[in-house]
Amino acid sequence: MAGDYRMSLDSITLENASGRHREVLEKAEAAVGFVPNMYANMVNQPALLETYLDGYARFRNAAGFTPAEQEVVFLAISRANACDYCMAAHSMLALNKSGLSAEATEALRNDQPIPDAKLEALARFTRTLIDKRGFIGKEDAEAFQAAGYTEKHILGVVLALSVKILSNYSNHLFQTEVDSVFAEHAWQPPAGKAA
């Protein structure tokens, strides 16, 4: 069930953007090759989209996770936040760009265990960090590290959480329509979960 509030701000595209809005959208287009609906909404507050783009790039390029691991983190967060837009987008990226197996992607979409033990530990830790609002126990950190991760990876998950709060919550507020490029991977949250 979606919230009953929907932002009244219009999407801003390269066709109707000027000034700072245009600068930020051009940066976004250069990064991904087009302006996704999510970006056209977020750019209503240019600082929001800029912060998202910067944090997203830093997570992708410097947090120490493989592309497949990055998608595990993003899908685990987006599912926990019931973001249908990001679930579709990251499912497509997982399967077509990041090398995450179809089996692991489906497991994440359905909140089921991932057959790969290390990736499952990453997904479980990510969900634990969300559920406990960062107040994890020693046993949570030790289990994560026993799977082959480090304390620096814990901070990397915090970075991903920060980035996904920006996108997931913006998508909820705008009720963002999934772009056609992601539509094949559409996802709906389970009954009783906000979307």
Q: Tens-of-pLDDT digits for all 195 residues of the chain?
A: 468 999 999 999 999 999 999 999 999 999 999 999 999 999 999 999 999 999 999 999 999 999 999 999 999 999 999 999 999 999 999 999 999 999 999 999 999 999 999 999 999 999 999 999 999 999 999 999 999 999 999 999 999 999 999 999 999 999 999 999 999 999 998 876 554
Please check whether residue 55 is in contact with residue 70, taking contact to mean a CB–CB distance below 8 angstroms.
no
Residue 190: what pLDDT? 84
What pTM was estimated for this model as a whole? 0.96
29 burial type by CB count under 10 A (0-12 exposed, 13-18 middle, 19+ buried): middle
CA-nearest of 193, 170, 182, 175 to 87 is 182
Rounded Cα distance between 151 and 142, Å, is: 10
Residue 194: what pLDDT? 53
Instruction: Indicate the CATH number for domain 66-195.
Output: 1.20.1290.10
Where are the domains positioned within the chain? Answer: 9-62, 66-195
Please check whether residue 109 is in contact with residue 75, taking contact to mean a CB–CB distance below 8 angstroms.
yes
Residue 191: what pLDDT? 78
